[in-house]
Structure 1
Amino acid sequence: MKLRVWISAFRLRTLPLALSCSVMGSLLALSQDKFRWIIFLLTVSTTLFLQILSNLANDYGDTVSGVDNENRLGPQRVTQSGKVSRKEMRIAIGVFAFLSLVSGSLLIFLGLQNITQIILFYVFGIASIIAAIKYTIGKNPYGYAGFGDIFVFIFFGLIGVAGTYYLHTHEFSAWILLPASTIGLLSSGVLNLNNMRDIKNDSESGKHTLVVRLGQKRAKAYHFTLVVVAILLSVAYTVHFYNSATQWVYLLTLPLFAWNLAVVARNSEPQALNSELKKLSLSTFLFSIVFGLAMVL
């Protein structure tokens, strides 16, 4: 069925990771008694549309560039396999770009009143749509130049968490950048695993991801740094806003990250990283929930 093909193209397993920023920002707003359901629902829908848009654009762009081929180790892409035509995929990309714009516009206009703030968030929103598309599409896709990690950190970390928090509270504190950076770093860690898995094919296809530039050994050290610094930033935030011992409950998730680091350190078969990619995504989502709720309790 065509529906199953499109669901496969949406890559639903990536959605929990994308939602981590909305969950984190919203729960931190709840900890300040400034949570708004309409803002939460619209940040979730906008984030989902943007992530699906990014997945579809990635599917299309990697096929056009030739990066998606029989040597790729990840899940089969629907455009490269011929299950969806390039024209159909371009239409789908346009549809989700439109849905992202509509949902984001509703979020901005219902969440803000000040015209300067509205313009600023609109710029962020348009930039998010462009970033989702330009990762692998166009003459000089930034994902092929090794800048994917930076964009993930910014849009699914700093802007995703701090922006969500601001839309709820209409307040900004530099401290919010700590949990925002945590989600951004862990999200970059997921992308790093993805690129470690595909290092051989990416290198041969001219896709110069950060992993290709670093090499597998240094990419493992980089991954270790991303995860450890992410946790340390969360600890620093907790220390600053400490009220009770229940705020440390998120430390129960640390074995999940420790196990991930151990597996990555020992890995010698890129294909085996596919399962770790899924696990780190879900661990990050779980962490965002537990950390946020710990700040509420």
Structure 2
Amino acid sequence: MKSWIKAFRLRTLPLAIAGWLVGISLAGNDTTLNYATAILTLFTAILLQILSNLANDYGDASSGVDENRTGETRMVSSGKISARAMKNAMVLFSLLSFITGSYLLHLAFPDDWTSALIFLLIGMVGIGAAIKYTVGKNPYGYAGFGDVFVFLFFGIVLVFGTYYIQSAQMNWGILLPASSIGLFSVGVLNVNNIRDIESDRKAGKNSVPVRIGRERAIVYHKILLNGGMLFSILFVYLNFRSWVGLLFILVSFLFYKNIKAVATKPAQELDPYLKQMAISTLLFSVLFSIGQIASWFY
């Protein structure tokens, strides 16, 4: 059981919670929340996050990327979980994600088949993308496109999708805070990839840091974190109701600490900052959501 819990990589789950929380708080500005669909949305997002982590564990072990890893030990490569058992777990979580997602759409869009089918297609693409990230021939995560997947699914799809499921409204301004969560989530991946830059290079995993080098990856990291903060500041400026909406700026010092660590510490010392970045993103979402909840009463 301990091995499976490690394979789930619980320290990455704050990303799923963060995107959901921002989407829910934004939806509360425009509609009365449906708590059943809200909980199902969160549950489905967490299942997809775990599926992605399991697939990553299996895929990296199969490709040999784990042989010189500097971060935490993966379960398949260490022999604590067999490759067959991991594949079975991937099938199980794919089915669970599909079931909970389908029931969510049934509750959210009982008379709107168009929206239900669009979200069903997005969900199926998400399941496939989570697996294809590091599994199979030519996984796109090894070609440097993992950042795009993380930005789209943990940012745009999760935040905007959570908002739309509640409100059934196309508010394009939501793309600003959705982009913030997407960029911070890519920041978590970037810390991971900078940490593993040497082992990934040897294994032929061409992540963004491998492609552009560590120095440019540090600049890229600064752009991700500063850009994410600026998008949300712009959103609050355009939809200003109270200064409470800017509470999330308090997280800036944590992002600065993360940037400083990525820029100055050797790769083997970066592992704690992956968790720190994930927790900082969750804290950002909590403070952002408090600001939005406060605006419900204006």
TM class by shorter chain equals over 0.9
Give the Å deviation of 1:172.
1.3
Give the Å deviation of 1:37.
0.7
The residue number in structure 2 matching 1:38 is 36
The residue number in structure 2 matching 1:167 is 165
Identity of aligned residues (%): 46
Give the Å deviation of 1:180.
0.3
Give the Å deviation of 1:34.
2.7
* Contact kept? 1:250, 1:287, Cα under 8 Å: yes
* 1:68 partner SS: helix
The residue number in structure 2 matching 1:48 is 46
* Contact kept? 1:27, 1:35, Cα under 8 Å: no
Structure 1 residue 137 corresponds to structure 2 residue 132: no
* Contact kept? 2:31, 2:166, Cα under 8 Å: no
After TM superposition, what 4+ stretches of structure 1 lie above 4 angstroms from structure 2? none
The residue number in structure 1 matching 2:73 is 76
CA displacement, residues 158-209 of structure 1 (integer Å, 9 cap, x when unaligned): 0110000000101111100000000000000100110000000000001111
The residue number in structure 2 matching 1:86 is 83
1:92-241 to 2 correspondence within 5 Å?
92-112=89-109, 113-241=111-239
1:60-71 to 2 correspondence within 5 Å?
60-69=58-67, 71=68
* 1:284 partner SS: helix
Structure 2 gaps of 5+ residues are none
The residue number in structure 1 matching 2:260 is 262
What is the alpha-carbon distance in structure 2 between the residues aligned to residue 277 and residue 12 of structure 1? 12
Normalising by structure 2, report the TM-score: 0.96
* Contact kept? 1:238, 1:247, Cα under 8 Å: yes
What is the alpha-carbon distance in structure 1 between the residues aligned to residue 62 and residue 230 of structure 2? 40
Give the Å deviation of 1:35.
1.7
Give the Å deviation of 1:33.
3.9
Give the Å deviation of 1:260.
1.3
Length, aligned pairs only: 293
The residue number in structure 1 matching 2:271 is 274
The residue number in structure 2 matching 1:13 is 11
Normalising by structure 1, report the TM-score: 0.97
What is the alpha-carbon distance in structure 2 between the residues aligned to residue 187 and residue 40 of structure 1? 21
What is the alpha-carbon distance in structure 1 between the residues aligned to residue 125 and residue 231 of structure 2? 26
Counterpart of 1:270 in structure 2: which amino acid?
A
* Contact kept? 1:136, 1:142, Cα under 8 Å: yes
Structure 1 gaps of 5+ residues are none
What is the alpha-carbon distance in structure 2 between the residues aligned to residue 118 and residue 257 of structure 1? 37
Give the Å deviation of 1:72.
0.6
Structure 1, 104-113 or 119-128: larger mean CA deviation: 104-113
Give the Å deviation of 1:265.
2.0
What is the alpha-carbon distance in structure 2 between the residues aligned to residue 38 and residue 273 of structure 1? 39
CA displacement, residues 259-282 of structure 1 (integer Å, 9 cap, x when unaligned): 212222222x10111111111100
